[in-house]
Amino acid sequence: MLAYLIRRLFAAVVMLVVIILVVFGIFFLVPKWAGVDIATSFVGKQADPASVEAVRQKLGLGDPIFVQAWEFFKAIFAGRTYSGGGDVTECAAPCFGYSFRSEQAVWPVLTERFPVTLALALGAAVLWLIFGLAAGVLSALKRGTLWDRGAMVVALAGVSLPIYFTGLLSLAVFSHSLGWINAEFVPLDESFSGWFGGMILPWITLAFLYAAMYARITRATMMEILGEDYIRTARAKGLKEQVVIRKHAMRSTLTPLLTMLGMDLGALMGGAILTETTFSLPGLGQKVLDAIQNQDLPFILGVVLITSLAVLIANLVVDVLYAVIDPRVRLA
Amino acid sequence: MTELSKSGAAVGEPTGTSPAPKAFLEVRDLKVHFPTDDGLVKSVDGLTFQLEKGKTLGIVGESGSGKSVTSLGIMGLHTAGQYGKRKAQISGEIWLDGTELLSADPDHVRKLRGRNMAMIFQDPLSALHPYYTIGQQIVEAYRIHHDVDKKTAKRRAVEMLDRVGIPQPDKRVDSYPHEFSGGMRQRAMIAMSLVNNPELLIADEPTTALDVTVQAQILDLIRDLQKEFGSAVIIITHDLGVVAELADDLLVMYGGRCVERGPAEKVFYEPRHPYTWGLLGSMPRLDRDQQERLIPVKGSPPSLINLPSGCAFNPRCPYADVPKDDVTRTVRPELTEVGGRHWAACHMSQEQRERIWTEEIAPKL
């Protein structure tokens, strides 16, 4: 078990380094090959050659590629000093550089926005797990009945309807028409109830999509597991059906769901772009949309790295939980 | 019925519904049908037999002949896992030690499962839960029916593992199924089935998934344990070699029905049904001349939705034209007594069958 953990941890660290380098490659090399000059795009198209040259020096864009890669890598762990063109800027670790547009440092903005995204994702995850699993299991046990068909139609709708539709619909109904919920975002440190009220529709909207997917997967997995030989063995022992489901079938059903949950949560850490935009939540997703629209390279880069890191950590946690659930994995 | 008490196991004329079960296990006119989109699958269609404690009945037949469904029906597991609207339909009577199971309260039958009747499955790897240790699974089986704490139950589990010949049982009790070899897993499975001293043990193809060397060990184990516990045992198999050693009585199934049944030595040495001849001819033997080829049963098993009319075996039977008037294709043969406690369902006359067996079949085996 310990050897398994160490192996996984080591693999994760290696993966992280690879990701950083690949991200660097995508964002600094690809524009270069494509003939886009990063310094020019930083300064603006109408800039005079002198200030473009100053920026090029300051960002080290004239250095050989591997020097740039090393500087980029080092900045994340040790910070970086930008100098050139007469002024010096200290960027403390973890340094993701400065916005091309507003000259804000990237990292503080990310850390400020991350909690909103985290709260959105975790809250939604709790909802979708409860409702997705319950609906999936019930459908599997009552397959072919009206309940099953109804639940699966709702799930199909959940999977197919885009978030900006369900989100706007819920805003229109619950916030504007019925006036039950004040859907303005309120920071958590200002008012808990305000924050909760502002989060509830985004939670439900995001959870609806995922609950639908989870319900369908749960139903399919559960039906498959119920046909397994060891479930028949459990019944042959004289166990109550309820115990057979709870103790024997559920545990096996959880395994594939756990993998999904790890991936989904990891991916959501980079921001639920649609949900955050629909509900004007100041999370990472909204920022990344801004950054893409403005071609603000350092921000896009920062968010991509955070997302990768989150997926990595989520997968690590999933791997560990996997080993706890399935003893056969410990050998792998 | 006097003969029955003498030999114990199997047979007795198909009796209908007289409520006088003298045998320990008595199955009367059992039918298990599964509704499907394509029609009604008649997996078991009128099966009758009896079995006494301490005796072994072998049920033989090819895949899809209804052997396994019969055992699931006895255990009350034919509808298990069938959620939704379409459930298996079961009719007939199953008397276990004076209780009719099909009309009994399902929760009562559940309590009999595992305690009074237990089952060993074909593939012990897939039949054991991969996420729980062998010990946890045996402890669970014991504690369903015994109000004891976990420690006591675990001691019992170690004791059972020791009894079925697992070395270092106190250590192996904490192993997972995937850490056992195939033979060990089947031993563990047997330990789990016998942990409550069931009076009826059903072994569904207990050696099919095992190495040949291990097969004999497992069969020996089942025989020893049967002697020790005095249980009634049903062994379901497609391998006549398996039941040859163990069974007191044999029941040959074809297309969901019994085509021949009787004492094992009769069915082996004086079989009176062409399908049984086919089974015997398909069995490789060391004492046979190597130049001689096996005599397989031609064709494939019948569809259980549309059984051939008349005798279900007629499309594959080399002797289908022996009886007159096309009777094999129009009339379904009933079981008729062909000797002491020995029944077969065939349209050929006794004399015809005796002659074909002694002159044409037996010399080639």
CB A277 within 8 A of CB A285: yes
Cβ count within 10 A of residue B33: 20
Of A140, A148, A232, the CB nearest to B80: A232
Give the total residue count for chain A.
332
Name residue B187's amino acid: R
Q: d(Cα B112, Cα B107) in Å, to the nearest integer? A: 9
- pLDDT confidence tier of residue A276, bands split at 50, 70 and 90: confident
CB A104 within 8 A of CB A299: no
Name residue A282's amino acid: P
- pLDDT confidence tier of residue A162, bands split at 50, 70 and 90: confident
Angle (deg, nearest 10), helices B182-194 and B212-229? 10
Instruction: Decide if pLDDT at A138 tops 70.
Output: yes
Distance from CA of A235 to the nearest CA of B (A): 8
**What confidence score (pLDDT) does residue A243 get?**
93
Q: d(Cα A16, Cα A305) in Å, to the nearest integer? A: 9
**What confidence score (pLDDT) does residue B288 get?**
64
Nearest Cα residue in chain A from B131: A326
Cβ count within 10 A of residue A119: 18
**What confidence score (pLDDT) does residue B292 get?**
67
Mean pLDDT of A239-263: 90
- The residue written with tokens 């002949």 in the block is B65
Closest CA to A326 of B132, B294, B206, B323: B132
CB B41 within 8 A of CB B88: no
Supply φ then ψ for residue B93, to 5 degrees.
-135, 140
Choose from A138, A233, A258 for mutation: most chain B CBs within 10 A.
Answer: A233
**What confidence score (pLDDT) does residue B62 get?**
86
**What confidence score (pLDDT) does residue B120 get?**
92
Give residue ranges of A with CB < 8 Å to any B CB: 140-145, 148, 226-240, 248, 251-252, 325-328
Q: d(Cα B183, Cα B220) in Å, to the nearest integer? A: 13
Distance from CA of A332 to the nearest CA of B (A): 13
- The residue written with tokens 């953990």 in the block is A5
Q: d(Cα A151, Cα A148) in Å, to the nearest integer? A: 5
Nearest-5° Cα angle at A101, A97 to A103: 45
Beta bridge partners of B56: B233
Distance from CA of B87 to the nearest CA of A (A): 12
**What confidence score (pLDDT) does residue B290 get?**
65
Whole-prediction pTM value?
0.80
Could you read off the pLDDT of A80-111 as tens digits, one per residue? Answer: 877 765 667 777 778 877 877 777 888 888 88
B104 vs A34, A222, B32, B109, B247, CA distance in Å?
A: 79, 29, 17, 7, 29
Pick the residue with more confidence: B186 or A198? B186
Pick the residue with more confidence: B285 or A297? A297
Q: d(Cα B313, Cα A239) in Å, to the nearest integer? A: 40
Q: What kind and span of H or E run contains B94? A: strand B89-96
Mean pLDDT of A281-308: 83
CA trace torsion B268, B272, B273, B279 (10° rounding): 20
Closest CA to B162 of B135, B133, B202: B135
Of A140, A148, A239, the CB nearest to B144: A239
Predicted-complex ipTM score: 0.85
Closest CA to A229 of B72, B243, B173: B72
Closest CA to A73 of A112, A121, A115, A17: A17
- pLDDT confidence tier of residue A248, bands split at 50, 70 and 90: very high
**What confidence score (pLDDT) does residue B291 get?**
66
Average per-residue pLDDT in chain B?
A: 86
Choose from B131, B145, B192 for mutation: most chain A CBs within 10 A.
Answer: B131
Helix extents (H) in B197-239:
212-229
Distance from CA of A142 to the nearest CA of B (A): 5
Supply φ then ψ for residue A264, to 5 degrees.
-65, -45
Choose from A149, A237, A241 for mutation: most chain B CBs within 10 A.
Answer: A237
| Segment of A179-193, A207-221, B277-291 carrying the highest mean pLDDT | A207-221
**What confidence score (pLDDT) does residue B14 get?**
43
- Identify the segments of chain B with pLDDT beneath 70: 1-21, 80-85, 285-292
Pick the residue with more confidence: A66 or B129? B129
Nearest Cα residue in chain A from B176: A327
Instruction: Decide if pLDDT at A58 tops 50.
Output: yes
Nearest Cα residue in chain A from B133: A327
Could you read off the pLDDT of B101-148 as tens digits, one per residue? Answer: 999 898 999 999 999 999 998 888 899 999 999 999 999 999 999 999
Nearest Cα residue in chain A from B140: A237
A230 vs A244, A245, B83, B88, B219, CA distance in Å?
A: 10, 12, 17, 20, 22
Distance from CA of A210 to the nearest CA of B (A): 25
Tokens of B35: 């509704």
Q: Where are the domains of chain A?
A: 1-95, 111-325
Q: d(Cα A275, Cα A281) in Å, to the nearest integer? A: 8
Architecture category of domain A111-325 in CATH: Orthogonal Bundle (1.10)
Percent above pLDDT 90 for chain A: 17
Domains belonging to chain B, first-starting first, are 21-116+198-247 (3.40.50.300), 125-197 (no CATH), 272-283+294-364 (no CATH)
Q: d(Cα A121, Cα A119) in Å, to the nearest integer? A: 6
Mean pLDDT of A13-27: 85
Of A143, A240, A248, the CB nearest to B83: A143
Do B75 and A236 lie within an 8 Å CB cutoff? yes
Instruction: Decide if pLDDT at A237 tops 60.
Output: yes
Q: DSSP secondary-structure letter at A91?
A: E
Cβ count within 10 A of residue A14: 10
